[in-house]
Amino acid sequence: MSIRLFRRHPEKKRTASQAESGLSLMEILVAIVLLGIMASAGISNLIVALRTAKYTEVNFAANSLAISKVEEISAIDVGALNASYNETEPDVPWSDLNLTFTRTTTISVNDDDSRTIDVSVVSNSPDVTTDVSFSTTLALWE
Query: Per the domain annotation, does 16 fall within a domain?
Result: no
User: What does the alpha-carbon distance between residue 44 and residue 22 come to, in Å, rounded to a whole number?
Assistant: 34
What's the whole-model pTM score? 0.70
**Confidence at residue 7, expressed as pLDDT on a 0 to 100 scale:** 64
**Confidence at residue 6, expressed as pLDDT on a 0 to 100 scale:** 62
- The residues, any chain, with a CB within 8 Å of residue 82's CB and separated by 6 or more, are 107, 109, 115
What is the residue range of 38's domain? 25-138
Query: Per the domain annotation, does 11 fall within a domain?
Result: no
**What's the mean pLDDT in 101-126?**
93
Query: Per mean pLDDT, which range of 3-7, 31-35, 93-97, 122-126 is the poorest?
Result: 3-7
Q: Which H helix or E strand runs over 87? A: strand 87-93
Q: What is the pLDDT of residues 45-78, one digit of tens each?
A: 999 999 999 999 999 999 999 999 999 999 988 8
Query: Per the domain annotation, does 15 fall within a domain?
Result: no
| Position 135 pLDDT exceeds 80 | yes
Query: Per the domain annotation, does 4 fall within a domain?
Result: no
Query: Per the domain annotation, does 1 fall within a domain?
Result: no
Query: Strand pairing of 131-138 and 115-123?
Result: antiparallel
Query: Considering its fold, how many domains does the chain have in total?
Result: 1
**Confidence at residue 142, expressed as pLDDT on a 0 to 100 scale:** 59
| Position 89 pLDDT exceeds 90 | yes
**Dihedral, CA of residue 65, residue 71, residue 77 and residue 82, to nearest 10:** 30
Query: Per the domain annotation, does 14 fall within a domain?
Result: no
Which residue did the predictor score with more confidence, 92 or 22?
Answer: 92
Nearest to 118 by CA among 77, 95, 92, 85: 85
Share of the chain above pLDDT 90, in %: 55
Count Cβ atoms within 10 A of the Cβ of residue 5 and give its class: 0-12 exposed, 13-18 middle, 19 or more buried.
exposed
User: What does the alpha-carbon distance between residue 104 and residue 90 come to, in Å, rounded to a whole number?
Assistant: 8
